[in-house]
Amino acid sequence: MYIKNIAIHSERFPAQDDYPFNLEIFEKTKNIALTRPVTFFIGENGTGKSTLLQAVAKRCGIHIWRDDEGYIRRVQHRSPYAEQLYRYIQVEWSGERVKGSYFDAEIFRYFAECLDAWAKPNPALFQYYGGESLVSRSHGQRHIQYFGATYCKKGLYFLDEPENALSPRKQIDLLKILKTAAETGQVQFLAVTHSPILLSLPEATIFSFDEIPVKETAYEDTDYFRLYKDFLNDRDKYLRAL
């Protein structure tokens, strides 16, 4: 365990009417204690989980890749405070500070293309990411290649919806990677996910952003588990309602 607590200082927020400071969950949540090597943030879209994940990564000094051209288009009409939450949180380290990475499926291709360009004069760079170009493979294949090559190394890792390009079978492969890495005691993960497969990891803590304040919840109590189980047991009930 490298970080053990996230404190949100809502009393210092510079604005109350602009995102993300207008989210009640950030006003009412004061601390999130991290007690296990894998922590999942879950909740409906717009609840603030990815915003907090990115803020914690920034606070920990983790570089967040972005496609500058696409980034400019996305932020043109956003709140001026959209990426400032990290200034108003505090991360408590257990002791040793380590390096790590931030995975976002939306901009991973940009990273992979940059890696290809860097590797042209120095192909040895590929050895750190599975031994071959990430661009040459499908989305799901390149993601698993990256996960397997990266998460075997000591570090602090942030993942924002890593299941996006993965089939259910590939999600199970990622589940194995997370479990194996967590068992080494050298790795800590914080992840946002909607995947009931990833959430099943026994060594994980799950925090729900559908509760105010943020609340730890059991796997079987998540909407993901209940809804998928109910749908698979009686899909006709849902199809009749369409």
d(CA 118, CA 206): 38
Q: Are 13 and 84 in contact (CB under 8 A)?
A: no
DSSP code for 10: G
Lowest mean pLDDT among 5-9, 119-123, 202-206: 119-123
Per-residue model confidence (pLDDT) at position 75: 46
**pLDDT tens column, 24-69:** 999 999 999 999 999 999 999 999 999 999 999 999 999 988 765 5
Which domains are present in the chain? 3-104+155-240 (3.40.50)
So what's the pLDDT on residue 72?
40
Cα 160 from Cα 139, distance rounded (Å): 15
Annotate 83-120 with DSSP letters as a single string: T-GGGGEEEEE-S----EEEEETTTHHHHHHHHHHHHT
Q: How far is it, in rounded angstroms, from Cα 100 to Cα 210?
A: 28
Locate 89 and state its tokens.
Answer: 């949180």
> What average pLDDT score do residues 132-157 get?
85
Mean pLDDT, rounded, for 215-219: 97
Kindly tell me if the per-residue pLDDT of 74 is higher than 50.
no
